[in-house]
Chain A
Amino acid sequence: MRSATNPPNAAQWLVGGILVHDLLVVPVTMAVGLVLTRLVPAPFRAVLQGALLISGAVALASLPLWRGYGGPADNPSVNPLPYGRNLAIVLGLVWACATAVIVVRAVRVRRARRSHASASGPPAG
């Protein structure tokens, strides 16, 4: 049992997971959030944040595949797909949806601005 679980190595991975999350994943997420706050105006920022969250999670859950890690060389039925291309297809669809939502929001903002302008504009004549 001792050799199978290799406690010193397992402990490294257990503690490493916490450290990578708390000191790398969260600060990087915060930095990205800060940049978005500076660069992207309100009704569109949430869409970008959502699309980034989905992209990051999908990429992380399939990381060894599109990075080409793992799989024995003599067994082509393990990790057999063109994962880089497939990830691009999936994320392309995600960002196409995000773009559609952004366009809808932009149209709405412009309409609201126009009706606001005509409502508060000077009376005709």
Chain B
Amino acid sequence: MTAAYRAYMRPFIRLFTGRLPQPPAVLRRGPLRTDAFSSRLHDPRVASLLGMWLGIAFGVCFLTGLVSHAMQHPPSWLVWPSRPVSLYRLTQGLHVTTGLACVPLLLAKLWTVYPRLWEWPPVRSVAHALERLSIVPLVAGAVFQLATGIANIAQWYRFRFFFTVTHYWVAWITIGALGVHIAAKLAVVRANVGRRRDERSRLTDRVSAPEQPGGGLSRRGLAVAVAGAAGVIVTTTAGQWVPGLSGLDLLAPRRPDIGPQRLPVNRTAAAARVSAVARDPGYRLEVVGPRPFVLTLAGLREFPHHTSRLPITCVEGWAADATWHGLRLRDLLDAAGIPAEATVRVESLETGGTYRTSEVNPPHARDPLTLLATGLNGADLDIDHGYPARLIAPNRPGVLQTKWVHRVVML
């Protein structure tokens, strides 16, 4: 840094870091007193360690959330692969499970720093005021994301905003505020974490004091309890997407083997208002391409059938394996003369709704596992699973596995 630059910057630095006048001491009452919070858990080292775990967990939630968003609203430069088959099961399962595990982490972290809400003086400098203000979107966003996520997986809608869009935008607010927070607190973390933290203690005035003896929960005890809480939450909910753990699935909103034909349903035929039209014996499947054709119900049965073992993987974080049988999508496209590099749109009998149609890009459209399924687990598709025909493709969110399909159109 040159001397001239330093001289140029000095007024700005003074503006931000100059001491503001101290408020009168008589105002320092109640929670603002020095000794208002006596718990030995209000400690910068505990806060730093919990903050690091919470930061990792929020990072996982944010990245897996972005994956899910990109899958459903793909940017033009992104072609999502159809393999590995269970990639989306993993990313979305991690998203929900990590979010649930954040409940004890976030509450414990906020407990350790709660006295900072009542720090004295409330504002030391402009920089200090800005740093304190940046906590507002961070805490509001973090609590909001966990609360709305928990409500959404239970399909409990007490709020009047559309969940997916709002959860997505608040994620950006939260992660932005988290970035600012990490930058502001990096010195505190470095002074309190790591084997050589003593050498870095001059970085801040927020250095952990030796733990006082006491009869309540110790710092180590808090770590054990928080890890225990996260462990219990993960153990009793991860079974809704992890194969083999469904026996431990006690407190998750779904069980992979409960539903019609032993498979959960997200949107029933009644909710989609297709109960009558999907059962119409005059049903026709229309394939629109260079050589368009139409299949009746009998035609659907006569077309060569294949079997795929594929999971249905929901955005709400549950996944269930099933054996599907039906027509290979790529056979249908070949029969209609649709070229291998074409994207197709699959259309449902539904008359409206966000997920009435979905686009199938070449990796999924040409994957030999992708079916226009007419049967499930050895029987005809249940009406709630999309009778007479539904899309089922590997590595794809459940909302894009369009049900009650009646048209396949080349784009």
A residues with CB within 8 A of B: 1, 4-6, 9-10, 13-15, 17-18, 20-22, 25-26, 29, 33, 36-37, 41-43, 45-46, 49-51, 53-54, 56-58, 60-66, 69-72, 74-81, 83, 86-87, 89-90, 94
Tell whether, in the assembled complex, residue A86 and residue B111 are in contact, meaning their CB atoms are under 8 Å apart.
no
**Which single residue of chain A is at the shortest CB-CB distance from B37?**
A30
Tell whether, in the assembled complex, residue B265 and residue A77 are in contact, meaning their CB atoms are under 8 Å apart.
yes
Main secondary structure of the interface of B (DSSP, over half): helix
A60: B residues at CB distance < 8 A: 103, 107
Q: Please, could you name 16 A-B residue pairs with CB atoms under 8 Å apart, sorted by A? A: A18-B143, A26-B110, A45-B217, A50-B222, A50-B225, A53-B104, A58-B251, A69-B151, A69-B154, A69-B158, A75-B267, A75-B271, A75-B384, A78-B266, A80-B258, A83-B251
Please tell me if B255 contacts chain A, counting CB pairs below 8 Å. Answer: yes
Please tell me if B247 contacts chain A, counting CB pairs below 8 Å. Answer: no
B254: A residues at CB distance < 8 A: 77-78, 80
Please tell me if B358 contacts chain A, counting CB pairs below 8 Å. Answer: no
Main secondary structure of the interface of A (DSSP, over half): helix
Tell whether, in the assembled complex, residue B224 and residue A50 are in contact, meaning their CB atoms are under 8 Å apart.
yes
B214: A residues at CB distance < 8 A: 42
Given A64-B154, A72-B155, A77-B259, A17:B162 Cβ within 8 A: no
CA A41 – CA B148 in complex, angstroms? Answer: 39
Tell whether, in the assembled complex, residue B255 and residue A80 are in contact, meaning their CB atoms are under 8 Å apart.
yes
Given A5-B166, A86-B251, A79:B216 Cβ within 8 A: no
CA A70 – CA B150 in complex, angstroms? Answer: 11
Please tell me if B156 contacts chain A, counting CB pairs below 8 Å. Answer: yes
Tell whether, in the assembled complex, residue B216 and residue A33 are in contact, meaning their CB atoms are under 8 Å apart.
yes
Tell whether, in the assembled complex, residue A87 and residue B229 are in contact, meaning their CB atoms are under 8 Å apart.
no
Tell whether, in the assembled complex, residue A77 and residue B260 are in contact, meaning their CB atoms are under 8 Å apart.
yes
Tell whether, in the assembled complex, residue A5 and residue B169 are in contact, meaning their CB atoms are under 8 Å apart.
yes
Tell whether, in the assembled complex, residue B151 and residue A70 are in contact, meaning their CB atoms are under 8 Å apart.
yes
CA A18 – CA B174 in complex, angstroms? Answer: 13
| Most-contacted residue by chain B among A43, A62, A94 (CB, 10 A) | A62
Tell whether, in the assembled complex, residue A54 and residue B159 are in contact, meaning their CB atoms are under 8 Å apart.
no
Please tell me if B226 contacts chain A, counting CB pairs below 8 Å. Answer: yes
8 Å CB interface, B161-177 against A: 161-162, 165-166, 169-170
Partner of B215, one of A1, A25, A43: A43
Partner of B140, one of A15, A41, A90: A15
Tell whether, in the assembled complex, residue A61 and residue B117 are in contact, meaning their CB atoms are under 8 Å apart.
no
B161: A residues at CB distance < 8 A: 4-6, 9-10, 13
Given A29-B111, A70-B155, A74-B268, A65:B253 Cβ within 8 A: yes
